[in-house]
Amino acid sequence: MVLKRSSQSGKKAFTLLEMVVVIALTGLLLGIAMPSIDDLWQDQALQAKLDSFNKIVRTAQSLAHDRQAQTYVTFEEERVFIYPEIEEEEGFAANRGLKFMALGEKELFEMTKPYALQDAPTRKNRWAFWPTGNCEPVTIKYSGPSGTWTQIFDPLSASGRITEYELP
C-alpha cells in the first residue's frame, strides 16, 4: 500500500479504499479461521472430559490396590464417583464418595458389561475394581455437547482403548 502525501498538511495517510480493502480481507480471514478455532475448543473440551474420566479410573484402580478392598466407580445422572466397598455399609457412597466428576446438562455416560457380568438392577451402574488392580471388562461411552467418545477397558490393566472419538 502506498502512503500518499496530503497536499494541505503534508502528513502521510491511507486512502479510504485501502482501509476498506484491509478490513474486508481481515473479515474474510476471520471467517475462514473461526470454524477451525471452534473445532479446536470443542476438541479440547472433549479431551478434558476424557482425561478427567481416565483420572477417576486410575484413582479407583490404585485405591483398590492400596486399601486391598474392592472399589467401585458408580455412574449417576449428575455425577460419576468412586467409593470403596468397605465404606459401602456406612452410607459413604450415598453421602459423598471419594472423588467425583460432576456432569452438566446433556452429558451422559453409558456403561456396558459382558452379559455374564451384568449386575442386579439395583447395582447396574457400578463398575468394580479389585484389590489386585484388575477391573471388570466394560465399554464406556460418553456423549455431551462437545462430542462423543467410547473406550473399551481391559480387565487386566484397567487401561482404556479409544474406539470412537467424534466432535459434533
Determine the pLDDT at residue 3: 56
With beta carbons less than 8 A apart as the criterion, state whether 79 and 102 touch: yes
Determine the pLDDT at residue 98: 66
Tell me the pLDDT tens digit for each residue of 109-125: 999 888 777 766 656 78
Determine the pLDDT at residue 86: 66
Tell me the pLDDT tens digit for each residue of 10-39: 668 888 888 999 999 988 887 786 777 778
Three cell numbers written together for 1? 500500500
Residues in the chain, pLDDT under 50:
89, 91-95
Residues in Cβ contact with 50 at an 8 Å cutoff, skipping those fewer than 6 apart: 142, 149, 151, 162, 165
